[in-house]
Amino acid sequence: MRKTPVAPRKRAGKTGPRKKQASGGTWWKPLSFGIGGFLVLCLGIEYFKEGGRLAYLRHTIEEATQTNTLTALNPAGYEVKGLDISHHQRQVDWKAVKAQHIKFVFIKASEGITHQDKYFNRHWRQAKKHDVLRGAYHFFLPARDAESQARNFLKKVKLEAGDLPPVLDVEVTNHQSDEEIRAGVQLWLDMVEEAYDLKPIIYTNYAFYEQHLAGYFDDYPLWIAHYNPKENHLLANSKWAFWQHTEHGRLEGVKGHLDLNVFNGTMEDLYNLCYEPDTP
């Protein structure tokens, strides 16, 4: 019986060097760049669109104070000077600030319905400790519930005798109509005035006041941001109480640029504005 010949087996050739598998840990890089680019795009759109949340960062001719040029840091004829600060000024040498004849300060306390400035408490305590008249302000978002915004501010700020009146900072539209903006502003003012039996101050810039608020809040003290003021600083038949005359001020004891202000009156007039709670 003849055996069936068996075909010779092929020798396995040498395999080439194995390619390293692509690392699975690099997938997040393009995703991160994509997300980052999308966020930057969103912020850019919000920054430039009319009435957007970031519009207050732009002090252009139409939107803010008509000019961004620097005027004198010490306007002639005003004896009472002050500043306003927020979390952007983390450290303040209050002794040095007071030595430069700064008499008052407004400090950011809250914004919208939930945000509270994380450096408010520190600034609030230190201003009082160094005998600088202090006031607190709320950044108003017209698209958010005004009652909740007032409660946010009142929860954060506890005025004491001798403090300046509360301030409502209103300078963006959030795409709300003038009627909606004014209704929300009025509700916030009413709630805070009822809480302290003291009329709040309205802060805004020149153009925003003329376009949206003029003639509706004449009974409230006005704090105006205007870096190239008109003669006599008259605004729709209303005279300002505080004038923020620059956003590029400098003071020893505070790093970076500052908003500097003057009060339209004497120290006695300023004291007369301050909070005096009823004594039982």
Per-residue pLDDT of the chain (280 residues; tens, 9 = 90+): 444 454 555 555 555 555 555 555 577 777 777 787 777 776 766 555 444 555 545 433 333 333 333 334 457 789 999 999 999 998 999 999 999 999 999 999 999 999 999 999 999 999 999 999 999 999 999 999 999 999 999 999 999 999 999 999 999 999 999 999 999 999 999 999 999 999 999 999 988 999 999 999 999 999 999 887 654 455 655 689 999 999 999 999 999 899 999 999 999 999 999 999 987 6
pLDDT at 34: 78
pLDDT at 236: 57
pLDDT at 17: 53
For the chain, the structural domain boundaries read 43-73, 77-273
CA distance 121 to 205: 26
Options 63, 84, 163, 169, the catalytic residue: 84
Residue 102: strand pairing partners: 81
pLDDT at 228: 72
Options 111, 117, 169, 171, the catalytic residue: 171
Q: Is 268 a catalytic residue?
A: no
- The DSSP result for the chain, as a single string, is -PPPPPPPPPPPPPPPPPPPPPPTT-THHHHHHHHHHHHHHHHHHHHHSTT-TTGGG---TTTSSS------SS-TT--EEEEEE-TT---B-HHHHHHTTEEEEEEEEEETTTEE-TTHHHHHHHHHHTT-EEEEEEE--TTS-HHHHHHHHHHH----TTPPPPEEE----TT--HHHHHHHHHHHHHHHHHHHTSPPEEEEEHHHIIIIITTT-TTS-EEEE-SSPPGGGEETTEE-SEEEEEEEEEETTEEEEEEEEEESS-HHHHHHHS--PPP-
Q: Is 84 a catalytic residue?
A: yes
pLDDT at 76: 76
CATH classification (class only), 77-273: alpha beta
